[in-house]
Amino acid sequence: MPARNCEEAFMIFSFEENSERTGKYVLLYDGIELSYVDIAAEAFSHKHEAMGHIMQINYCHAGQIIWNTNHGRSVFLNPGDFSVHTLDVCTDSAFVFPNSQYQGFMISVDLQKVSVHPPELLAETKVFNGLLYDKFCRGSGIAFFAGNERSESIFSGYYGQPKELELPYQRIKTLELFLYLAQIEMTEKNHLAEYLPEQIEIIRQIHD
């Protein structure tokens, strides 16, 4: 059955035998959901319905992931790196974990909902009225970014907080992340390179 929303899209994984996956969902705002991921596997595939109205931010916290995208190229995400895209460009993706371990999280944003009912602090901005979509997702693109001091100051707040303060931190850091993305420049310096499959194999042989 095809996925109908962001939670279902996250759940439809086809894992290798003896792999393990755990996760946690947090509803931050209406139409904005945080999903933590902890995976022990060498690889998995991911299929879901094309959902161009769902924007997803993926962050690599630990381990390494090689994402083989729909358009035949691959991208490494190392700790601190992140990506932004809509769920119409990853309908049939394959993921490889060189260390057989991966931790991170994804933030799923229903652009239809938040454009009408955005978080109160961002209500007077254009963040959800085309700004983020036009910048990162128009034309069915995927934006991959190398982590930096500014981005890590935001992402680190999603981990290691006292339990009673977790949700406030998650909500505040998510708003800060949206504002950061609204300002970030799309330059070669902070944009991760994409590789062809044969280039990925050479890189893996070097690391092995």
d(CA 14, CA 196): 23
Q: Please check whether residue 159 lies inside any domain of the structure.
A: yes
Q: Please check whether residue 143 lies inside any domain of the structure.
A: yes
Q: Which residues contact 192 (CB under 8 A, 6 or more apart)?
A: 75, 76, 77, 81, 144, 145, 146
Q: Please check whether residue 72 lies inside any domain of the structure.
A: yes
CATH number of the CATH domain containing 167 = 2.60.120.10
Q: Are 37 and 21 in contact (CB under 8 A)?
A: yes
Cβ neighbour number for residue 149 with a 10 Å cutoff: 7
Query: Averaged over 116-132, what is the pLDDT?
Result: 84
Biggest distance spanned by C-alpha atoms of the chain = 51
Q: Please check whether residue 173 lies inside any domain of the structure.
A: yes
**% of the chain at pLDDT higher than 90:** 30
Q: Please check whether residue 135 lies inside any domain of the structure.
A: yes
Collapsing DSSP states into helix, strand and coil, what is residue 67?
Answer: strand
Domain count, the chain: 1
pTM reported for the whole predicted model: 0.78
- Confidence band of 30 (pLDDT split at 50, 70, 90): very high
Q: The domain containing residue 98 runs over which residues? A: 6-202
